[in-house]
Structure 1
Amino acid sequence: MQKITKEQARAIRRKRADLRLTKKEACKDIGIGALTLNNLERGDYMTKPTIYAKVMEWLAKDY
C-alpha cells in the first residue's frame, strides 16, 4: 500500500482546478473511481500501488 500525503492531495486538487476539470472528468483522465478521487483529495490515504502510480503519472503529465 502507498500513502497519499497531504501535499500530494493538495497537488491533485490544484491540478484539477488549474485544468478546470470536474471530479468526473478527472476520474476519467486518471482512470479511477469517484470515491477513490474523493479519498485521494483528502490526503492521508492508503491506496493500492496501481492507483498510486496512475495518480502520480497524471500529476507529472503536462507539468
Structure 2
Amino acid sequence: MLISSNQAKAIRRKQADENLTSKQASENIGISQFTYRKIRKGAEVRPTVYQKVMEWLAEDY
C-alpha cells in the first residue's frame, strides 16, 4: 500500500509535535527504523505496516 505525500506529512508532523526521534516514533508504531524512514518520505509498504502507521496517526483523534 502506498503512503501518500499528505500521509507522510502528517507522520512527520506528529513526530515533531510529540518531540520524538525517528527511533522513538518507529518503536511507538512497532516498525523498524528503516521502514519508518521510508514512510516519512512516502513509499510503498506492506498492508500490515500501513495499518500500524494509520492506527498510530489516529490515536490522538
The answer for the alignment partner of 2:60 in structure 1 is 62
Q: Number of matched residues?
A: 61
TM-score, structure 1 normalization:
0.93
The answer for the alignment partner of 2:38 in structure 1 is 39
State percent identity of aligned pairs.
Answer: 51
State the Cα deviation string for residues 29-51 of structure 1 (Å, max 9, x = none): 000001101010011x1110000
Amino acid in structure 2 at the alignment position of 1:9: A
CA RMSD of aligned residues (A): 0.6
Structure 1 runs (4+) greater than 3 angstroms displaced: none
Determine the C-alpha separation between the residues in 2 that align with 1:46 and 1:16.
20
Higher strand share: 1
Determine the C-alpha separation between the residues in 1 that align with 2:23 and 2:40.
13
Consecutive unaligned residues in structure 1, runs of 5 or more: none
TM-score, structure 2 normalization:
0.96
Amino acid in structure 1 at the alignment position of 2:6: E
Determine the C-alpha separation between the residues in 1 that align with 2:35 and 2:54.
14
Amino acid in structure 1 at the alignment position of 2:10: A
Amino acid in structure 1 at the alignment position of 2:51: A
Consecutive unaligned residues in structure 2, runs of 5 or more: none
The answer for the alignment partner of 2:19 in structure 1 is 20
